[in-house]
Structure 1
Amino acid sequence: MTPEFQEWILNNIPLLQQMQLRFNGFDKGTLSMSCPLEPNINDKGTGFGGSIGALATICGWTFTMIHAKTILEDPEAMIVDQSMKFHEPVTGVFTASCSSCIPDDFHQRLQEGRSGKLQLDIEIHSNGNLVATYQGFYIARKKA
């Protein structure tokens, strides 16, 4: 994931600047990004559920784009369906990580001009604890 791609994401999705999103890296197939608690706090002093959901969603979207860019020069990706479970309150920096497997037909479908489909699992951790789990269904395709 290039610094230019990271900058493009932050410039095109202003919410992420307000959340103070940080890209931690894409290493050995795992994408990791995080946000500090302070700009994402709720009335209880813990992480706002909307911010946690947004972090999970953008993590999956970015993961999809990274893989689509290996086949397409100018792809687009979108979330189609998602579900999230909250296990514990977020009490500090929270980190999303995605290391889902890419199905064999994802790249083949993109090469054929069809939509590539990914079912992604994302974990959210805070203070060493698993605080939320997220499943998202994404598609990628050539930009129209």
Structure 2
Amino acid sequence: MRKPGVPHPRLPLPEGREDLAAFHAWLGDAIPMVGALGIESMSMHNHALTWQLALRPNLNDKGTGFGGALSAQTTLQGWCWVTLWLRGQGLARDVVVAEATQRFLAPVNGDYRLVCTPSEGEGIEQLSQALAERGKGRIALTQKLYCGDAFCLEAHGSYAVLAGRDQEQPR
């Protein structure tokens, strides 16, 4: 049973390609609300983290997607993107959201997908350079939610990678 103020143990760094199912299972243990968000699957391709989500656990009183749940999902997905990218670099660092905004464009009325990518083409390189020079850095990410072909929500977040104290784990 998780206790407030006690960090959850880190997932060991992958020895090759990340097992996203194992990461998803660990995420549910580390952040209890994850189990209630309706995340059905995760995939990563060309620096895009895509989630498939079920609408049912995220319904509002109108029978569409609840804005608070959708906001939580976008914020969490950005945190996952940075965490997974760091893990791919052999780093186990703390990541926090520094800023987050959402713009709701259309109702979410069915199962949906959420896609997270860097907001700027040079974002990954800038983060890499900041980590190498200062041991910490930030990256701006964009999350887009699609219900079928409909573009329903766009979110932006700034995520900070905190300076590590011997948190790199050998592979």
Work out whether the TM-score is over 0.5. yes
CA distance 1:33–1:56, change in 2 (3 Å)? same
1:15 correspondence with 2:51? no
Summarize the alignment of residues 87-126 of structure 1 with structure 2, pairs less than 5 Å apart: 87-100=105-118, 101=121, 102-126=123-147
Counterpart secondary structure, 1:69: helix
What amino acid is aligned across from residue 149 of structure 2 in structure 1?
A: G
Match of 1:82 in 2: 100
Distance 2:42 2:85 in 1: 17
| C-alpha distance in structure 1 between counterparts of 2:100 and 2:154, whole Å | 11
What is the correspondence of 1:25-64 to structure 2 with a 5 Å cutoff? 25-64=43-82
The one-letter code sitting in structure 1 at the alignment partner of 2:71 is: G
Query: Which AA in structure 1 matches 2:92?
Result: D
The percentage of aligned residue pairs carrying the same residue is 23
Which structure has the greater CA radius of gyration?
Answer: 2
3-state SS, counterpart of residue 73 of structure 2:
helix
Deviation at 1:72, TM superposition (A): 4.6
TM-superposed CA distance for 1:113, in Å, is 4.8
Q: Structure 2 length normalisation: TM-score? A: 0.76
Hey, what does 2:11 align to over in structure 1?
Answer: none
Q: Is 1:139 the counterpart of 2:157 in the alignment?
A: no
8 Å contact kept, 2:144–2:155: yes
The CA deviation string for residues 6-53 of structure 1, in whole angstroms up to 9 with x for no partner, is 221111111110122123300122110132111110000101001111
Q: Is the 8 A contact 1:123 1:133 kept in 2?
A: yes
Contact 1:32–1:95, Cα closer than 8 Å, also in 2: yes
**Greater shift in the superposed pair: 40-49 or 10-19:** 10-19
2: CA distance, partners of 1:131 / 1:105: 29
4+ long deviations beyond 6 Å: none
Structure 2 CA distance for aligned equivalents of residues 9 and 112 of structure 1: 30
> Does the CA-based 8 Å contact 1:110-1:141 persist in structure 2?
no
For residues 78-124 of structure 1, the C-alpha deviation after alignment (integer angstroms, 9 at most, x for no partner) is: 10001110000000112110122434231122234522210111101
Could you list the runs of 5+ residues in structure 2 that have no partner in the other structure? Answer: 1-17, 166-171
Q: How many residues align?
A: 144
CA distance in 2, matches of 1:17, 1:45: 20
Structure 1 unaligned blocks of 5 or more: none
Match of 2:91 among 69, 73, 79: 73
Q: Secondary structure at the match of 1:85?
A: strand
